Amino acid sequence: MCGIAGWYDSSGTCNADELENAILRATAQLVHRGPDDGGVYVDAPAGIALGHRRLSIIDLSPEGHQPMCSASGRYAIAFNGEIYNFRELTHELNQLGHRFRGHSDTEVLLAAIEQWGLKHALQRSNGMVALALWDRETRKLTLARDRVGKKPLYYGWTRSGFAFGSELKAIRALPSFDATINRDALTLLLRHKYIPAPFSIYRGIFKLRPAEVLILPLEAMNRGPIDPNELRRYRRTYWSFHDTISAGMEQPWRQDDNSAIGELQERLLEAVRLRMVSDVPLGALLSGGIDSSIVTALMQRLSNQPIETFSIGFNESDYDEAQHASRVAAHLGTEHTELYVTPEEAMAVIPRLPAIYDEPFADCSQIPTFLVSQLARKRVTVALSGDGGDELFGGYNRYILAYAYWRRLGRLPRTVRHLLTAAIEHVPAERWNRLLAGVRAMLPRQLRVPQAGDKLLKLAHILHYDQPIDMYRALCSDWIEPDTMVIGASDPTTVLDDSPGWPQANNFIDRMMQLDFLTYLPGDILTKVDRASMAVSLEVRCPLLDPDVIAFAWRLPLHMKIRNGEAKWLLRQLLYRHVPRELVERPKMGFGVPIDQWLRGALRDWADALLDERRLKKEGFFDPNPIRRRWQEHLSGRRHWHYSLWNVLMFQAWLEHSNPSVSYSVAETVPIGSTSSIHGACRHTNICRIIVA
């Protein structure tokens, strides 16, 4: 696992030393992603420089240094990620005459590119990928990203050339960076908590989409900023989620339940086995939920000694999963480490979030995700997680609740639905929460969730919509019309608006899962885990997102995912073969912290300063009125607006961090990468230099 950066000097005036110095400034911002060593490749005649920071996982020897040149010398690569099936590829390439100096997956990937070309090499590879490939023969730079978007890659134009990097901070360090904020992207942050690809918070800087390849000849990089629509001519894809779904529908699973459970176990066992290959200590992030428990159970089955597992807990019962995780760990016999975190310890992470996440990001579970990553990194360098199970196997409460809600109430006349909405919204959220808490034991299991009153009010709002897909969009939005709040902005078109480009769907729940896989999974879940884990130099691997598991999931009929109101039915049946039902049977909790309470208490002064009306007017990004209105309603307890307010607060905190000369509040940030505050001193600082004269 690593961090990469690169720069093309369009002026043609920089010599090799200047190119090298520029890229070293960029990679210095990525030391947290690769603390073990660094490297630079410079093709001075072409004006190209590639940089790399390395977290050594496979082949800890110098033979794994990057950037790396291919055996023929044609290609230079800066690669971030892991190729899990590199041993199988090595065997195949050996038979074709390739010989290897070491045993790193990067060297294998380069040989595969020389043998089959980049597209087929990526199609044959099972892993997480963000790479830059310089072809000295064709003088083209290629950027590529893995199938589901595990690893990030930003790219775009500065005033003096083309740049790319694993994080924005690396691009910001390159010459002539233009820090103009993309106001349209800001509306997406308010709506979704994250900024989806291809947009970024900066104008002219983009995110590569999952499974996308961008091929840029020198003349394209030399032109300066290219309109996003024109960029399409340089884009390719090497894997299609749409095709995977279509193939599943053409060959649906027709065997019985037991056969499906057995097939799923075999595919997951292989996915876990591949992801347990490591030359450094390895463990699992265990929440005690279905997904992480099944990954842990299969890891333990494949191991001849207790695996290491990690969880964090909170004293607030509605947010504490550690008690469940510890029971699962005890049953499986893992070597378990848990840490109960005080509110003060959790809140101490908040000033560091702008540096960790690098562009505004507002899923408040970013806090416990960072804390559990920090805990795990004290003992291991690689951890497996259960991410992806909800989107593939029907795990989110909204799949069940929204569908049932719409089926029963969506056909009512609009006037009746509006009256019902008004009646529900007339009762404050706090009163609904108390009422539903009092009858919690009598509610269906999927309704026994924290802050059920707030969820009821959000569900009531969707009765305004006449189509279920509009209801889904509303459920995905913290602010329904964010373009009216961001001054001088319009709401950009995203995947959620592009219905002609959507995959086939047999039903509305399938449609929600598909759209979550394409948007929420890479934009929120995987971004959250990548930034939090890499901030402490921890690699996280996700077996449930193995391509074979994804393909199998889309062969399954819906009743094998959701049955009798029970989410992730098939995953549960598999887990019950390894863990007693009573240890994991509980309502879905999520992985959060009591931000709503903190904003009314210890964080109130911090939030007050960031949401000050005079400050908002002076900065000129937001209309203060709707923000101030929600802030006052939240403080009074009438509504719990912490999620939508957190979106604004994370932008405000990021803006303050990005402009250190302007100070509005007492919060102090801790730089990531430039200091040793999070992970300690870098173990190696060797710089591997490759200069092409």
Residue 580 pLDDT level (bands cut at 50, 70, 90): very high
Residues 154 and 251 in one domain: no
CATH number for the domain harbouring residue 421: 3.40.50.620
| CB neighbour list of residue 488: distance below 8 Å, 6 or more residues apart | 183
60-74, 286-300, 413-427, range with greatest mean pLDDT: 286-300
**Residue 270 and residue 532: Cα distance in Å, rounded?**
27
Give the H or E element holding residue 213.
strand 212-217
- Predicted local confidence at residue 690, as pLDDT: 63
Task: Grade residue 416 by pLDDT with cuts at 50, 70 and 90.
Answer: confident
Say if residue 375 is in the same domain as residue 494: yes
Establish how many alpha carbons lie within 13 A of residue 586's alpha carbon, considering only the half-sphere containing its beta carbon. Answer: 20
Say if residues 640 and 478 touch (Cβ distance below 8 Å). no
Q: How far apart are CA 420 and CA 21, in angstroms?
A: 64
Q: How confident is the model at residue 468 (pLDDT cuts 50, 70, 90)?
A: confident
Q: What is the mean pLDDT of residues 159-180?
A: 94
Q: Which is nearest to 162 in space by CA: 231, 67, 76?
A: 231
C-alpha pair distances (Å), 110 with each of 65, 78, 116 = 13, 10, 10
Q: Is 219 a member of any domain?
A: yes
Extract the tokens encoding 9. 């000097």
Shared domain check, 139 and 9:
yes
- If one compares 158 and 262, the residue with the highest pLDDT of the two is 262
Bridge-based pairing of strands 37-43 and 687-692 is parallel
Cα end-to-end span (Å), the chain = 29
In percent, the amount of the chain with pLDDT more than 70 equals: 90
Question: Are 304 and 348 contained in the same domain?
Answer: yes
Burial (CB < 10 A; 0-12, 13-18, 19+), residue 376, is buried
**CA 141 vs CA 67, 72, 270, 492: distances in Å:** 14, 17, 34, 28
- Per-residue burial over 93-121, b if 16 or more Cβ lie within 10 Å, else e, is beeeebebebbbbbbbbbbbbbbeebbeb
* β-bridge mates for residue 312, sequence order: 339
Helical ranges in 9-156 per DSSP H = 16-27, 86-95, 105-116, 118-124
Same domain, 172 and 282: no
**Tell me, what's the pLDDT at 465?**
80
Closest listed residue to residue 292, CA positions, set 321, 314, 333: 321
Query: Do the bridges between strand 2-9 and strand 161-165 make them parallel or antiparallel, or are there none, so unpaired?
Result: antiparallel
The torsion angles phi and psi of 507, rounded to 5 degrees, stand at -160, 175
At residue 434, the pLDDT reads 72
Q: What is the DSSP string of 345-380?
A: HHHTTGGGHHHHHSS----TTHHHHHHHHHHHHTT-
Give the model's pLDDT for residue 679: 32
List the strands of the sheet with 154-158, edge to edge: 205-207, 154-158, 161-165, 2-9, 48-54, 37-43, 687-692
Mean pLDDT value across residues 139-165:
96
| Choice among 58-67, 295-304, 444-453 with the minimum mean pLDDT | 444-453
259 and 149 in a common domain: no
Max CA separation in the chain (angstroms): 75
- Give the pairing type, strands 154-158 and 140-145: unpaired
Asked if the structure places residue 651 within a domain, the reply is no
Q: 263 and 127, same structural domain?
A: no
pLDDT for 445 equals 58
**Residue 217 burial (CB count, 10 A):** 13
Judging by DSSP bridges, how do beta strands 2-9 and 335-340 pair with one another? Answer: unpaired
Instruction: Assess if residue 198 is contained within a domain.
Output: no
CA distance 67 to 81: 13
- The predicted-structure confidence for 91-103, as pLDDT tens digits, reads as follows 999 999 999 988 8
Work out the average pLDDT over 130-143: 97
Once rounded to an integer, what is the mean pLDDT over residues 295-307? 97
* CA–CA distances in Å: residue 506 to residues 249, 262, 426, 472, 555: 9, 25, 37, 16, 12
Phi, psi (rounded to 5 degrees) for 367: -70, -55
In 3D space, the residue among 55, 74, 75, 72 whose CA is nearest the CA of residue 64 turns out to be: 55
pLDDT averaged over every residue in the chain: 89
Give the number of residues written for the chain. 693
Quick check: is 332 in a domain?
yes
Of 2, 14, 364, 682, the catalytic one is 2
Task: Please tell me whether residue 678 adopts helix, strand or coil conformation.
Answer: coil
- In angstroms, the CA 61 to CA 8 distance is 30
Helix (H), strand (E) counts: the chain: 30, 18
Q: Which domain holds residue 235?
A: 2-177+209-239+687-692
Task: Please check whether residue 86 lies inside any domain of the structure.
Answer: yes
Q: Are residues 55 and 85 in the same domain?
A: yes
628-651: average pLDDT: 94
Q: At 674, is the pLDDT very low, low, confident or very high (cuts 50, 70, 90)? A: very low
Domain boundary among 565, 594, 623: 594
Place of tokens 């302007």: 662
Which of 541, 576, 594 terminates a domain? The answer is 594
Domain count, the chain: 2
d(CA 166, CA 152): 6
How far does Cα 575 stand from its chain's mean position?
Answer: 25
Q: What is the pLDDT of residue 226?
A: 80
Q: How confident is the model at residue 390 (pLDDT cuts 50, 70, 90)?
A: very high
Nearest to 341 by CA among 369, 363, 370, 371: 371
Segment 479-516, tens digit of pLDDT? 999 999 999 999 999 999 989 999 999 999 999 999 99
Residue 634 lies in a domain: no
Residue 444 placed within a domain: yes
> Measured between alpha carbons, how far is 636 from 270 in angstroms, rounded to an integer?
52
Does 261 share its domain with 344?
yes
Q: What is the pLDDT of residue 632?
A: 96
Share of the chain above pLDDT 90, in %: 71
Domain boundary among 576, 594, 612: 594
User: Omega of the bond prior to 67 within 30 degrees of 0, cis?
Assistant: yes
Q: What is the pLDDT of residues 308-335, one digit of tens each?
A: 999 998 876 666 778 889 999 999 999 9
| Interval 178-204: pLDDT, tens | 999 999 999 999 999 999 999 999 999
> Per-residue pLDDT tens for 587-596?
665 567 889 9
What is the CATH classification number for the domain harbouring 20? 3.60.20.10
What local confidence, expressed as pLDDT, does residue 684 receive?
34
Q: In whole angstroms, give the CA distance from residue 540 to residue 676.
A: 21
CA 371 from chain centre, in angstroms, equals 16
Together in a domain, 24 and 167: yes
2 catalytic per annotation: yes
Residues 232 and 252 placed together within one structural domain of the fold: no
Residue 32 φ/ψ, nearest 5 degrees: -65, -30
State residue 441's pLDDT score: 61
Q: 173 and 138 share a domain? A: yes
Q: Among 87-91, 149-153, 409-413, whose mean pLDDT is lowest?
A: 409-413
Which has the higher per-residue pLDDT, 672 or 190?
190
Question: How, if at all, do strands 235-237 and 335-340 pair?
Answer: unpaired
- Residue of 374 and 420 predicted with greater confidence: 374
In a domain, 230, yes or no: yes
> Cis peptide leading into 198, omega within 30 of 0?
yes
- How far, CA to CA in Å, does 521 sit from each of 148, 216, 389, 516, 630? 8, 28, 10, 6, 28
Range with the poorest average pLDDT among 237-241, 458-462, 645-649: 458-462
